[in-house]
Structure 1
Amino acid sequence: MKKVSYDLTNVRAMSDNDSDFVNLMVHTFIKDIPRDLERLAVAVGDLDRDKVHRYAHRIKPTLELFGIESFKHAAALELWGKSDV
């Protein structure tokens, strides 16, 4: 499995360095992102553009907030999901 780097700088800045908020954001990320990635993968496999758009749109800002470069892939999937080509 590929190791993914993350960066909490944006989360800390957003929370004015509130450790409780940072912990809540990390906990929410750990809980929600795997489920949304699974749903996104299924939607891609099914070529369900509406769901691809919805899940990519949902995870993209979170990935970007955590400094995870694959937010760019989510952005590309989001655009694909919106297109009809």
Structure 2
Amino acid sequence: MKYSLNKLNELSGGDKEFNTSVIQTFISETPDDIENLKKAIANKEFDHIYQFAHKIKPNADLLGIDQVREHMLAIEGHARGDKNIDAIEKTYLEAETELQAAFDAYRNYLK
């Protein structure tokens, strides 16, 4: 698997049932967060952009999706800082692609 469950295993003590629950929640809830982030970007709602990136970031970190965590950090920085919507849009697209790959990988892990 491309992603690391080290942090999740550390948190759960290797409890597979707990890990499965966290992964299922991630797979079911994060697509809505991504869609909300996309809408906030389209509407240039920088406070909402920050909030949704901030919500996605710890889940990506916990599930070892490091590129997405880095992308969300960058989006947060732009949303609170220079408000560079072009950089936010580009970074969002990269993060979305990586998240879709992570969803597929974690769906396979659950099988």
TM-score range, shorter chain: 0.7 to 0.9
Stretches of structure 2 that go unaligned for 5 or more consecutive residues are: 84-111
Q: TM-score, normalised by structure 1?
A: 0.86
1:12-61 Cα distance to aligned partner (Å, 9 max, x none): 11100111110110011001111101111111111110100000000101
- Which stretch of the first structure deviates more once superposed, 7-16 or 21-30? 7-16
* CA distance in structure 2 between the aligned counterparts of 1:76 and 1:42, rounded to whole angstroms: 18
Name the Cα RMSD after superposition.
1.3
Q: TM-score, normalised by structure 2?
A: 0.67
**Higher helix share goes to which structure?**
2
% same residue: 32
Q: Please name the residue that 1:66 is paired with.
A: 63
4+ residue segments displaced more than 2 Å: none
Give the alignment of 1:1-85 within 5 angstroms.
5-68=2-65, 69-83=67-81, 85=83
> Which of the pair has the greater relative contact order for Cα pairs under 8 Å at 6+ separation?
1
Stretches of structure 1 that go unaligned for 5 or more consecutive residues are: none
